[in-house]
């Protein structure tokens, strides 16, 4: 049996493959047969460009429907798909290209010059609303392709997730990882071919590309393929949808949109939130406004989805529910002993969803797994009762200082190093502060060198040219010194308390 994820997708194409798959507002309706045909042409074009099984294809483009065909084409050809956030700048891209060594890079036309310089050993092609250069190459190719026979543990994708050391790690995801997680989610969330998923997420991370897209494709559902999240446009589109997935920021912005009412979402059977903690006050305000309880779930780049509140049953605010079928979760103390309910500990997970390790980092991979094979998530949590005797998982924080802002991971060390290198800066600490819109707002606390005057705007402007905008601090506070404990370590918990106020 072919374990290639594409083979699984193809086996779930609805009867009559001319059924609609992607509904692009102001654009085309892309049917299943058109999507699969284009994926075959792209697979042929990639092979013609010199790609061989296991080669990486890096992709940094806007959210055109052809990106989905490119993703499926990579799976069919046994290639490793490497999506990159469109906000990444030159220094970040240089690292990814050097580390992953992609055979092909697909980018936006406006970044072609920069990307071609940074990825000089790769074939660099553009992709835009009309298909771009990858579309031109695919146009002359046949609409059939023999899907590569993949083993379950063959790589399907690499997604980079930074570490507190500042060096990004490439999480290696296999066909088994993606297929098992997608199958579990379709069942857990009751997806059918009658569903219409409102898709306003980006497609360069797990939530938008794997969770949302796979649920739709493995149920033969349709997707409202929105290029970005705009609260007013989403409200207008809601009556045509049955499911919406989003990050907490989406739901906070819907609540701020006057046209969002219970009538607007009367046809929605399920709202799903993830990628960052959903504030209990947002959960309750949304329930009052819409009459529906948001389903919050828990996952990460290395594991896909781990746990979910139930489709039928109580969805408890502030919890992420129960482990998905086939996935084991435990909460342990520093000695690795399972914690009793109500006791906070480190969250560890085991199952077919857990990644194969970090690309070219065997030592880091070994560090993140226990001797008995559990993956240390780095998150802290506890088991709490849902009132019916079941243990729901509640997240209480992260053992590392990662910030999740607008559903995107931000690692303080990377930003601190850049701030510390600026003229006049002695040291800095970057923290996440609770924010009703972003979930957490990136905030920097900076100490100036003696005799130097530095300003908030100067630091923000300098970082805007260096790193992706979602990593740039929303606020910069200038202080005389940073609080430290007896060992000299900066007490970020005190900074969070101070600036949360």
Q: What pLDDT, in 10s, does the model give residues 257-275?
A: 999 999 999 999 999 999 8
Per-residue pLDDT reduced to its tens digit, 300-351: 999 999 999 999 988 988 899 999 999 999 999 989 999 999 998 899 999 9
Q: In angstroms, rounded to a whole number, what is the distance separating the alpha carbons of residues 65 and 43?
A: 16
What lies within 8 Å, CB to CB, of 299 at 6+ separation is 206, 207, 211, 274, 305, 306, 307
Same-domain pairing of 134 and 4 = yes
Of the residues 150, 180, 208, which one is the last residue of a structural domain? Answer: 150
Percent of the chain with pLDDT over 70: 96
Domain tally for the chain?
Answer: 3
19 belongs to a structural domain: yes
Lowest mean pLDDT among 18-32, 47-61, 392-406, 455-469: 392-406
Average pLDDT over all residues of the chain? 93
Same-domain pairing of 197 and 144 = no
**Does residue 190 carry a pLDDT above 70?**
yes
Average pLDDT for 89-109: 96
Per-residue pLDDT reduced to its tens digit, 115-128: 999 999 999 999 99
Same-domain pairing of 34 and 131 = yes
**Does residue 387 carry a pLDDT above 80?**
no
Per-residue pLDDT reduced to its tens digit, 337-377: 999 999 988 999 999 999 999 999 999 999 999 999 999 99
Q: In angstroms, rounded to a whole number, what is the distance separating the alpha carbons of residues 32 and 55?
A: 27
162 belongs to a structural domain: no
Lowest mean pLDDT among 14-28, 387-401, 422-436, 451-465: 387-401
Percent of the chain with pLDDT over 90: 80
| CATH code, domain carrying 127 | 3.40.50.12780
pLDDT at 334: 87
More confident position, 18 or 375: 375
184 belongs to a structural domain: no
178 belongs to a structural domain: no
Per-residue pLDDT reduced to its tens digit, 201-219: 999 999 999 999 999 999 9
43 belongs to a structural domain: yes
Confidence category of residue 388, pLDDT binned at 50, 70, 90: very low
Confidence category of residue 164, pLDDT binned at 50, 70, 90: very low
pLDDT at 277: 77
pLDDT at 281: 81
**Does residue 145 carry a pLDDT above 80?**
yes
56 belongs to a structural domain: yes
Same-domain pairing of 218 and 142 = no
Residue closest to 79 by CA, chosen among 115, 43, 132: 43
Same-domain pairing of 124 and 197 = no
Per-residue pLDDT reduced to its tens digit, 421-449: 899 998 899 999 989 889 999 999 999 99
pLDDT at 488: 58
Of the residues 130, 150, 170, which one is the last residue of a structural domain? Answer: 150
230 belongs to a structural domain: yes
- The answer to whether the beta carbons of residues 212 and 196 sit under 8 Å apart is no
pLDDT at 166: 53
pLDDT at 397: 67
pLDDT at 58: 98
Average pLDDT for 9-31: 93
Q: In angstroms, rounded to a whole number, what is the distance separating the alpha carbons of residues 181 and 214?
A: 9
10 Å CB burial of residue 398 (0-12, 13-18, 19+) is middle
Same-domain pairing of 142 and 210 = no
Q: In angstroms, rounded to a whole number, what is the distance separating the alpha carbons of residues 315 and 387?
A: 11
**Does residue 413 carry a pLDDT above 90?**
no
The range of the structural domain enclosing residue 447 comes to 403-500
112 belongs to a structural domain: yes
Same-domain pairing of 49 and 99 = yes
Of the residues 273, 293, 313, which one is the last residue of a structural domain? Answer: 293
The CA radius of gyration of the chain, in Å to the nearest whole number, is 23
10 Å CB burial of residue 268 (0-12, 13-18, 19+) is middle
Please provide residue 142's backbone torsions phi and psi, each rounded to the nearest 5 degrees.
Answer: -70, 155
| CATH code, domain carrying 278 | 3.40.50.980
User: In this structure, are strands 375-385 and 345-350 parallel, antiparallel, or unpaired?
Assistant: antiparallel
Same-domain pairing of 114 and 193 = no
Lowest mean pLDDT among 56-60, 67-71, 425-429: 425-429
pLDDT at 163: 44
Per-residue pLDDT reduced to its tens digit, 24-53: 999 999 999 999 999 999 999 999 999 999
Per-residue pLDDT reduced to its tens digit, 458-492: 999 999 988 999 999 999 999 999 998 654 568 88
Same-domain pairing of 26 and 92 = yes
| Continuous segment of H or E residues that includes residue 358 | strand 357-358
Same-domain pairing of 214 and 138 = no
| CATH code, domain carrying 408 | 3.30.300.30
Same-domain pairing of 125 and 267 = no
What lies within 8 Å, CB to CB, of 144 at 6+ separation is 40
Model confidence, pTM: 0.85
- The answer to whether the beta carbons of residues 61 and 67 sit under 8 Å apart is yes
Same-domain pairing of 195 and 136 = no
10 Å CB burial of residue 121 (0-12, 13-18, 19+) is exposed
pLDDT at 249: 87
10 Å CB burial of residue 452 (0-12, 13-18, 19+) is exposed
Average pLDDT for 133-137: 98
pLDDT at 162: 57
Per-residue tokens: 118: 């940074």
């Amino acid at each position: 049996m072919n374990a290639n994820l594409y083979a699984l997708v193809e086996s779930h194409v609805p009867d009559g493959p001319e059924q609609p798959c992607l509904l692009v507002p102001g654009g085309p309706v892309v049917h299943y047969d058109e999507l699969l045909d284009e994926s075959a042409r792209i697979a042929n074009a990639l092979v013609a460009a010199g790609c061989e099984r296991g080669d990486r294809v890096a992709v940094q483009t806007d959210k055109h429907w052809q990106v989905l065909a490119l993703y499926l084409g990579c799976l069919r050809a046994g290639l490793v798909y490497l999506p990159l956030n469109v906000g990444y700048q030159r220094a970040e891209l240089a690292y990814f290209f050097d580390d992953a060594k992609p055979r092909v890079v697909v980018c936006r036309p406006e970044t072609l010059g920069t990307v071609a310089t940074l990825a000089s050993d790769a074939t660099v092609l553009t992709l835009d609303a009309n298909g771009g250069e990858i579309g031109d190459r695919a146009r002359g190719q046949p609409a059939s392709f023999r899907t590569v026979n993949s083993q379950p543990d063959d790589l399907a994708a690499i997604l980079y997730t930074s570490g507190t050391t500042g060096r990004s790690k490439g999480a290696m995801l296999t066909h088994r990882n993606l297929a098992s997680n997608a199958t579990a989610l379709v069942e857990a969330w009751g997806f059918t071919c009658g569903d219409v998923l409102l898709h306003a997420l980006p497609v360069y991370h797990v939530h938008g590309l794997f969770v949302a897209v796979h649920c739709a494709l493995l149920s033969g559902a349709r997707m409202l393929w929105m290029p970005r999240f705009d609260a007013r446009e989403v409200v207008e589109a809601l009556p045509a949808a049955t499911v919406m997935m989003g990050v907490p920021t989406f739901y906070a912005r819907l609540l701020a949109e006057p046209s969002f009412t219970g009538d607007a979402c009367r046809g929605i059977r399920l709202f799903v939130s993830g990628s960052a903690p959903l504030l209990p006050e947002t959960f309750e305000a949304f329930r009052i406004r819409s009459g529906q309880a948001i389903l919050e779930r828990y996952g990460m780049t290395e594991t896909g989805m781990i746990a979910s509140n139930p489709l039928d049953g109580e969805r408890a605010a502030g919890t992420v529910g129960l482990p998905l079928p086939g996935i084991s979760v435990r909460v342990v103390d520093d000695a690795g002993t399972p914690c009793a309910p109500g006791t906070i500990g480190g969250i560890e997970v085991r199952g077919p969803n857990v990644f194969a390790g970090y690309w070219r980092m065997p030592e880091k991979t070994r560090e993140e797994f226990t001797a008995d094979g559990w993956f240390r998530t780095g998150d802290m949590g506890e088991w709490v009762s849902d009132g019916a005797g079941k243990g729901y998982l509640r997240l209480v924080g992260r053992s590392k200082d990662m910030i999740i802002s607008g559903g995107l991971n931000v690692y303080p060390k990377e930003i601190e190093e850049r701030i510390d290198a600026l003229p006049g800066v002695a040291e800095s600490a970057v923290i996440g502060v609770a924010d009703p819109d972003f979930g957490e707002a990136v905030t920097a606390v900076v100490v100036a060198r003696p005799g130097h005057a530095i300003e908030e705007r100067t630091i923000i402007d300098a970082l805007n040219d260096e790193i992706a905008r979602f990593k740039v601090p929303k606020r910069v506070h200038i202080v005389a010194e940073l609080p430290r404990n007896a060992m000299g370590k900066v007490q970020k918990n005190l900074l969070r308390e101070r600036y949360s106020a």
